[in-house]
């Protein structure tokens, strides 16, 4: 894209396709190439240490976070985007969330409704998928007025 002569969109490993008229509910963990032509309601996370590419085509949509070394978007993403190596936003890209990138290409017409934050690729890879849930102290009061406390995952 954008006048580059080097081939793009190729990584080692297989290709997984979420085709048009397909809806996936839940997180996807993958390596290789993941092509999104349908709808994904969940986070998309590349396996650590593996070469991976996510492509969201113009009819594709993701409602969740995307984390991968290389990401190409020409559809809609409602969530944060974390590209450790390369991010390409094509002319029909619509991102509603923060974008963390090492290298970014944006075509005329692409939209980002959120923050663009340049980071070292290692910083993107080292972030946890989600912050661990904090322990929450719960108090139960019995009929006699005595309180019992317990720790529970929140």
Kindly tell me if the per-residue pLDDT of 17 is higher than 90: yes
Q: How far apart are CA 105 and CA 40, in angstroms?
A: 24
Domains of the chain, by residue range, sit at 15-127
Average pLDDT rounded to a whole number, residues 14-22: 95
If one compares 49 and 72, the residue with the highest pLDDT of the two is 72
Instruction: Please tell me the predicted confidence (pLDDT) of residue 125.
Output: 52
Instruction: Please tell me the predicted confidence (pLDDT) of residue 136.
Output: 46
What is the average pLDDT value for the chain, to the nearest integer? 83
* pLDDT-wise least confident of 1-10, 63-72, 80-89: 1-10
Average pLDDT rounded to a whole number, residues 5-16: 67
Kindly tell me if the per-residue pLDDT of 133 is higher than 80: no
First to last CA, the chain: 44
């Amino acid at each position: 894209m954008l006048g580059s002569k080097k081939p793009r969109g190729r990584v080692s490993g297989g290709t997984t396709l979420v085709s048009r008229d397909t809806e996936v509910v839940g997180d996807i963990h993958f390596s290789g190439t993941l092509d999104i032509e349908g709808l994904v309601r969940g986070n998309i996370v590349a396996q650590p240490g593996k070469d991976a590419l996510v492509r969201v085509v113009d009819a594709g949509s993701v409602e969740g976070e995307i984390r991968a070394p290389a990401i190409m978007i020409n559809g809609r993403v409602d969530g944060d985007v974390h590209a450790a190596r390369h991010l390409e936003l094509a002319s029909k890209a619509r991102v509603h969330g923060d974008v963390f990138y090492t290298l970014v290409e944006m075509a005329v017409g692409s939209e980002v409704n959120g923050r663009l934050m340049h980071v070292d690729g290692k910083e993107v890879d080292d972030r946890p998928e989600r912050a661990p849930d904090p322990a929450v102290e719960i108090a139960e009061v019995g009929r006699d007025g005595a309180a019992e406390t317990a720790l529970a995952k929140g």
